[in-house]
Structures are given as C-alpha cells and as structure tokens.
Amino acid sequence: MTYSGPDRRKHERISKKFIVTYKVRDEMNNYDITQTKNVSLGGMLISTNRSFKSGTILSLETRLPFVPDKIILYAKVIESKEVVEGLIYDTRLCFQELDKQSKESLEKAVSFYLKPKD
C-alpha cells in the first residue's frame, strides 16, 4: 500500500545509499553496519537487522561525498517496520544534536544530489 496523502516532510530526501555504522548510543561495542535508503537534513531511513523501540537514540558513523572525514550523527528512532520477518527492518530516524560541521556536510551531499543533471 502506498501513501497518497500530502507530503509533510520539512526537508527533501535523496534516495542514495551510503554506508552507515550504527549502535544504540549507550551500548558499548555493539556496532552493526548497513546502508541508507534515503537521507535528508532531518533524518534518514536505514535497513537494520533488529527492531528498535520508538525514541531509542542511535549513534551513527558515515562518510559522505565531498567530506574527507567520517561524521558522527545521533538520531532518534521514529519507527522500525519489519520488512522480512525477524531479519530486516526499515528504521526511520530523526537527527538529534546536529553540530555545525555535520549539518554542513549533510547539506552539501543532499544539495548535490538534488541538483538537476544536465
């Protein structure tokens, strides 16, 4: 079923795949790796191998085009929706505590992919 209502997003999303390492913020050494399904200045959608409770804060590390160093982001889980029973979940995230450098890196990457290609 496809949503056909109005788009309430504040930020445009790009459907690009970036590698992301993630863990629950307060857990030690429990990282997993995945890729994004889409990204915006407000958050991202990633595939995870487990469901997360809404409100859980994840620590994310990623590299973006045009940015030489990895960036660390914190995001709150909005929803984890099961895609493949017990194996794969689409996890919607909303960024929290974005520092200036991370925000600029995200803006640069998102705006590059939103530009029309000639």
So what's the pLDDT on residue 39? 95
> Which residues in the chain show pLDDT less than 50?
1, 3
Residues whose CB is less than 8 angstroms from the CB of residue 18 and which lie 6 or more positions away in sequence, other chains included:
35, 36, 39, 62, 63, 64
pTM of the model as a whole: 0.86
Judge whether 40 and 14 are in contact, CB under 8 Å: yes
Q: pLDDT at position 1, please?
A: 44
pLDDT in tens, 100-109: 999 999 999 8
